[in-house]
Chains A and B, each alone.
Chain A
Amino acid sequence: MKKRAPNLEVLRIDPTICAGVAMCARVAPNTITLDPWGFPIIPTDVLTENMAKEAHKAVRACPKNALFIETREFEG
């Protein structure tokens, strides 16, 4: 029996919606940093388990709904 591979998660942002409210960086300090202009810098890599926990919080916290999680099938 093949073990089912885990889904990999990536945090994404729609920059046209993001208004720099910055609540995401507050709830996900180890995952999201702010640039000098106050806008979030989102990791482009697949999230580690700890980062994923924070990222989900950030998605829920964003008052503009600019953040979302993209899942990718594990291709290994």
Chain B
Amino acid sequence: MKIFSQDIVFGSANHELSLGETRENFSTHSKLNIVTTFGSNAQAEEFLTLLETSGLTGHGGAHFPVARKIRSAMQSPAGGTVVANAAEGEPGSAKDAALWQFRPHLVIDGLLIVAQLIQAKRLVIWIHNDERASHRSIVEAIKERELAGSPIHVEILTMPPRYISGENSSVIAGVRGEAIAPRYRLDKARPWGLGNPSILSHNSETLARIAMVRKYGVEAARSHLLTLLGLDRRTVTEAASSDTYGQVLSKTSGNPPTLFGGYGATWMPWDSIKNLQCDPATLRATGLSFGAGIIGVLPVGSCPIVETGRVLTWMAGQSARQCGPCFRGLADIAQRWNDFATKAISADDYHTMLIRIGLIPGRGGCAHPDGTIRLARSALTLFSDEVEKHLEGKCEYEHSLDFLPVPLEVATS
């Protein structure tokens, strides 16, 4: 059971093209008759069991089991908050935008379902202030519900478009009215925001899937949104768990380096992913992560070492500047990496960079530095031949094309 019938293409200059897919309004959506309320505790429990059986995990990147997160929040007193996290921090991702611009009511239904389950009294949609098209669609959706006589009370909270403002503990802090920055916690496995009462934040796709499971059952949890990076576009496509990456990107030829998951994820040679299934659970079993669902197959003229340097620079700039190993460390690594990528550095300097890379993981309050270093390390491991070339001042890929989307640093406040 899929959310979209077609791919959604976000072209250059923020010009959205939908090939046949139209935005749902409330009257078309309400024909689906998704029941967002529960008649009794037994019915709520039945749905939670269904969610558990479906194996649905959070689609923001961490893939925490959704039912477990909701159950934890149910332990807290009623009167909490549910947040739809629409702050899509990855410049390569467009799936939240696709959902809010084409299926806003589906995501809202997911929000209402979770609110019912944990008896929340406050509903929040959390979105970057530059996501104008999505914002318009959300406002429109709320208005449509009001006009149809089914008003909902949802707050839209906006913030500057920083990568880190979509991070879970940042979202919780922001919703509490505190500074929007990641918080340190001892127990990283525990979903953040549980308490008295809870603030529960879910990724937009997760909420849409919850609504889909409510309507269609466990099958609805077996497809996933991917964003495919192109030279001038990002294409949001929906893959079934049984589809392989090779089937989804059937035009890919050769064995190009491929960004797999997102900027805090890993590089993969195309050959080692083309036969894998687009399924978070299957990937986890092989030690890989679905991440945020971004797939960036490098085109000819684009070198993974140089591209990694571009991403490192941006990720370093996106640090919340709280933890030294992150904001000082990543900036240092990014600079050293770019020297390594673009000029012949000495073996000693390369060795220093490696040692410093090893000093960063696990030392930040959130996973931002860990993810950034994961990407860097995967480049070194997978492209060891290319590393040698760069140490000789050469580039096998003859890099001339900056491919991965990296925003220029601009003032955000």
Binding site for B on A (CB under 8 A): 12, 14-20, 35-39, 41, 44, 70
Verify A17–B359 contact, CB threshold 8 A: no
Q: Tell which of B186, B324, B332, B356 touches A15, judged by Cβ atoms closer than 8 Å.
A: B324
CB contacts under 8 Å to A, within B317-367, are 322-326, 328-329, 332, 356, 359, 362-365
- Hey, which chain A residues are within 8 Å of B359, CB to CB? 35-36, 41
Given contacts A35-B329, A35-B359, contact A14 B324 (CB under 8 A): no
Nearest-CB distance from B354 to chain A (Å)? 13
Nearest-CB distance from A23 to chain B (Å)? 14
B216: interface (CB < 8 Å): no
A27–B326 Cα distance when bound, in Å, is 24
Identity of the chain A residue whose Cβ is nearest the Cβ of B181 in the assembled complex: A16
Verify A17–B184 contact, CB threshold 8 A: yes
Identity of the chain A residue whose Cβ is nearest the Cβ of B356 in the assembled complex: A36
Binding site for A on B (CB under 8 A): 181-184, 186, 322-326, 328-329, 332, 356, 359, 362-365
Verify A15–B325 contact, CB threshold 8 A: yes
**Total residue contacts A-B, CB cutoff 8 A:** 49
Nearest-CB distance from A43 to chain B (Å)? 12
A contacts with B: majority SS: loop
- Hey, which chain A residues are within 8 Å of B365, CB to CB? 14-16
B contacts with A: majority SS: loop
Nearest-CB distance from B319 to chain A (Å)? 11
In the complex, besides A20-B328, A37-B325, 9 extra interface pairs with C-beta distance below 8 angstroms are: A15-B184, A15-B364, A16-B183, A16-B184, A16-B323, A18-B324, A37-B328, A39-B363, A41-B359
Verify B328–A12 contact, CB threshold 8 A: no
Among A19, A36, A38, A70, the one with the most B-chain Cβ atoms within 10 Å of its Cβ is A36
Nearest-CB distance from A20 to chain B (Å)? 5
Identity of the chain B residue whose Cβ is nearest the Cβ of A68 in the assembled complex: B186
- Hey, which chain A residues are within 8 Å of B181, CB to CB? 16
A17–B365 Cα distance when bound, in Å, is 9
Verify B182–A16 contact, CB threshold 8 A: yes
- Hey, which chain B residues are within 8 Å of A36, CB to CB? 332, 356, 359
- Hey, which chain A residues are within 8 Å of B182, CB to CB? 16
A18–B329 Cα distance when bound, in Å, is 14
